[in-house]
Amino acid sequence: MHKRLYRSVEDVLDRIDHSAGDERMLRDILRELVENPATRDLGVVSGRLYRQEKDAYRLFESLGGKGEAIAGKTVGRDYQVVRDLEARRLLVISPESPGFDPELEADLAGVDSAAILVGSGPAYILSLGIQHHGSEEDLLVLLETIRAAVGLKLRAQALADQVRQASTIQQSLIPPTLPRFAGFDIAAVTVPADDVGGDVYDVQEVEAGALGVLIADASGHGLPAALQARDVVIGMRMGQSKGEKITGMVSRLNRVIHDSGLASRFISLFYGELEPSGNLVYVNGGHCPPLLLANDDEVFELMTCGPVLGPLPDAVYRRGYVALRPGEILILFTDGVTERGQSDDDDEPDDFGRDRLVEAVKELRHEPAAAIVEEILARVRAYGRGPLADDVTILVIKRLTAANYPPAEDLTPVPPSTRR
């Protein structure tokens, strides 16, 4: 192919790379092929686009030749030429083609054609009317290049659509507003590192006077992690609706994740049920230990009660207990917070870490829960360089100190072993 044709190919591929939407892209490509001087040198005089319907292809764009006068015409999928094109994906159509219908072809183009088939659900036919005074070999190379590039673009757009759908599903599972729970101020945020993430949280009233609080982190991030995190939320909500005990819910979910065929992946999970008295019963399945900031500024960790979910089908999970006294703060988070790192070029390439998180909560303890969440997120973002490398989720539960709330001495005592 001569240099002008190479430039034509580059122009078309650039349109493919920067296009938005299947049919807009195909219209742009068709116009480039019909109007570019290099393709005219190959004998291209017209172009048509067809969209697959149930039993036919309907023409929806026509340039040159008979123009818009033939828009809307259909070609049946039982036409031999169409069957051959569907099988080969690229075809030169002439009176010598098997099953060639002179009357039908004259109605559409009146000249020989070269066509490519791209996409699926629906498929599209891009057909060029040709007057043979150029190199057929060059034309076929051009069309095969375009067919391959369009196919890649369509697959990329289909994947992007799936990611957007997964993101929509994931966002629909995250509570748009958190339920009010008398005596407590609760706020949360989740920020995926990719378009969708593997972090998730949920706050739901499981019964009158009990609030279910969930935070989970699927290994990795992106679409596979997001789908697994989605399944965790759905599974836990199903258990809540049936009134299952929390150890039973987590054990059953662990078995489901293991049996899903993705046992090479895993998900950490913290789930607790909070009562108005401040008592919290929980299960920690391999998740970052939530931090309880006591009124004397001492910090307690809610340690794990079992392994991460997925790898071990018969894993055992135990309950833990703790009580939030008025003025105390519980912060749940994923490792995207504490493991937020700096560039290797920095003087201090260590992670954000637990100590910085504790320091932030202590400084902000008199602020509303939403302000605490927002400031911690801002500090995590500012600590690293560039975009987040991992999903970040923060959930803060702050017990208020209003006069009508139970005093600390009226709360159920907490065994020392739960605060260590």
Instruction: Specify the DSSP element, H or E, that contains 28.
Output: helix 22-35
Question: Is the pLDDT reported for residue 134 higher than 60?
Answer: no
For the cut 60, the answer to whether the pLDDT of residue 380 exceeds it is yes
Mean pLDDT of the chain: 84
For the cut 70, the answer to whether the pLDDT of residue 130 exceeds it is yes
pLDDT digits (tens, 9 = 90+) for 140-191: 777 787 777 777 777 777 777 767 776 776 677 788 899 999 999 999 999 9
Does residue 419 carry a pLDDT above 70?
no
Strands (E), 53-98: 56-64, 74-76, 90-93
- Write down the pLDDT at residue 261: 63
Amino acid present at 340: R
Residues of the chain by 3-state class (helix, strand, coil), percent to 5: 40, 25, 35
Angstrom distance (rounded) from CA 204 to CA 225: 22
Specify the residue for token string 């378009």.
Answer: 195
Tens digits of residue pLDDT in 37-75: 877 878 889 999 999 998 999 999 999 988 999 999 999
Asked if residues 289 and 304 have their Cβ atoms less than 8 Å apart, the reply is: yes
Whether pLDDT at 5 is above 90: no
Give CA separation, 407 vs 42, 181, 210, 284, in Å: 88, 17, 19, 28
The dihedrals phi and psi of 228, each to the nearest 5 degrees, come to -70, -40
Lowest mean pLDDT among 70-79, 129-138, 362-371: 129-138
Task: Encode pLDDT of 188-230 as tens digits.
Answer: 999 988 777 789 999 999 988 899 999 999 886 667 777 788 8
Whether the Cβ atoms of residue 42 and residue 134 lie closer than 8 Å to each other? yes
Residue 267 to residue 223: CA distance in whole angstroms? 14
List, in sequence order, every beta strand (DSSP E) within 131-243: 184-191, 199-207, 210-218
- What pLDDT sits at residue 52? 95
pLDDT value, residue 415: 36
Question: What pLDDT shows up at residue 29?
Answer: 83
What is the mean predicted confidence (pLDDT) over 340-362?
80
What domains are defined for the chain?
A: 3-164 (3.30.450.40), 174-418 (3.60.40.10)
Residue 348 confidence (pLDDT) above 50: yes
Percent of the chain with pLDDT over 90: 49
State the pTM of this model: 0.65
* Spatial separation of the C-alpha atoms in residues 170 and 151, rounded to whole Å: 28
207 SS3 class: strand
At 225, give phi and psi (nearest 5°). Answer: -65, -40
Cβ atoms of 218 and 239 within 8 Å: the answer is no
Sign of the alpha-carbon torsion through 368, 374, 377, 379: negative
67-77 residues labelled b (16+ CB within 10 A) or e (exposed): eeeeeebebeb
Query: Cα separation of 395 and 369, whole Å?
Result: 9
Q: Residue 407 above 50 pLDDT?
A: no
The residue type at 237: R
Comparing CA positions, the residue from 223, 313, 219 lying closest to residue 269 is 219
13-36: per-residue pLDDT in tens?
Answer: 565 555 556 788 888 888 888 888
pLDDT per position as a tens digit, 273-322? 999 999 999 999 999 999 999 999 999 999 988 999 988 999 999 999 99
Structure tokens at 139: 């034309």
Cβ–Cβ contacts within 10 Å for residue 378, how many? 11
Helix (H, G, I), strand (E, B) or coil at 210: strand
